[in-house]
Structure 1
């Protein structure tokens, strides 16, 4: 996913431009820290104290210049309108958050308001179009049947939602096409490069990306 995000940023903004980035629900701060290392000014918002502690610990080990470029705010994903003015950011990340809030459409509208004209929003969501896949591959037939009836975000609905909030879909990818059932430490380091290459290829190729566990969607503010 980091490769996909970098591809969109490099293709969207002039080389060398330092971007204002907001990471809504930053978790442990992996993407936020990666962007701060790349020279961008990053603000992360997170409500989970344990994840904030992990992010701060990771940040503390970085050089001073990187520490100065990253700010961490404790708060809910829906509180962005309280902390920031509309149009305050060039890039807004919202990864793994929509499935955890009661009103995802309202959150997305708030996220779009934070974007400056021409800004990029990056969403990572469970793929509602393939909700039965993981359970089916694992032989959980009851779970697979339930997945067919799950009312979650899919590509069509998200495309419509992004258009409705003024940040139409610009590009989309699949994430975890082949590896959704693989535990995080289940891949030998010698195979990791090959795995990432295959996943990267599948995540941008039909029909594979359509059955990925996660969807990575990028919209652009009009």
Structure 2
């Protein structure tokens, strides 16, 4: 598996714990250091299944040969890329035939919902006309539309197999808020999972999870 932009390794480490061989491709020096620390804290067997490569996903072909990975994950990265198409194409080229390309992006079709529900009408109105916004960290970011990404995936021979909505009900939950009790958390996750695969709810989720398969 290739995890592009793994950050501190939350997802990459969990995949390695599950028995997968995981490569993290990260360009931020601070995140590389954090990821290396996370890997070093794991037992030797898990460490052996992980490696960290410094680089940009848009240049994946310079780091890996064609067809090198069965799964390529690009979660929360395209948001900070001016044009998603070159990166998606580069990632598809290192994907083996039949392999899965997993993208998690901000949903441009629902960009007005968060500020609108929070009563920030100026930001909500602006979101109807532009995919650009400021994220919770104060960084300039960009959202994507499912139709455009679907066309891109088809054009590079990795057509969309399935898609889901993420954070349908919980987008306004504070990042530092307490987690619900166990039984409440189970119900929350069940509701989110159901909404994330059910129309029309998934279409207005804060995030979209798109899964393309190399070769159809």
Tell me whether the two structures share a fold, i.e. TM-score over 0.5. Answer: yes
* 2:81 paired residue among 101, 104, 108: 101
Q: 1:189 offset after TM fit, Å?
A: 4.1
Structure 1: where are the runs of 5+ without partners?
A: 1-20
Aligned to 2:24, the other structure's residue is in SS state strand
Q: Which residue of 2 aligns with 1:182?
A: 173
The answer on 1:58 being equivalent to 2:38 is yes
The answer on 1:115 being equivalent to 2:108 is no
Q: Which residue of 2 aligns with 1:138?
A: 118
In structure 1, distance between residues paired with 2:172 and 2:17: 31
In structure 1, distance between residues paired with 2:82 and 2:195: 31
In the comparison of the two structures, how many residue pairs are matched?
Answer: 202
In structure 2, distance between residues paired with 1:38 and 1:182: 29
TM-score (norm 1): 0.87
Q: 1:181 offset after TM fit, Å?
A: 1.4
Contact 1:120/1:220 (8 A) holds in 2: yes
Alpha-carbon displacement from aligned partner over 1:74-129 (angstroms, at most 9, x marks no partner): 22222211110111100000111112123310111001101110000000000011
State the superposition RMSD in angstroms: 1.3
In structure 1, distance between residues paired with 2:178 and 2:197: 22
In structure 1, distance between residues paired with 2:53 and 2:2: 11
* 1:45 paired residue among 21, 25, 42: 25
Q: 1:51 offset after TM fit, Å?
A: 2.0
The answer on 1:28 being equivalent to 2:8 is yes
Q: 1:158 offset after TM fit, Å?
A: 1.0
Contact 1:43/1:70 (8 A) holds in 2: yes
Q: 1:66 offset after TM fit, Å?
A: 0.6
Structure whose residues are more often helix by fraction:
1
Once structures 1 and 2 are overlaid, which stretch shifts more, 43-52 or 131-140? 43-52
Alpha-carbon displacement from aligned partner over 1:197-218 (angstroms, at most 9, x marks no partner): 2211111111111110000000
Q: 1:193 offset after TM fit, Å?
A: 2.5
Aligned to 2:45, the other structure's residue is in SS state helix
Structure 2: where are the runs of 5+ without partners?
A: 132-142
In structure 2, distance between residues paired with 1:105 and 1:75: 18
4+ runs deviating over 6 angstroms = none
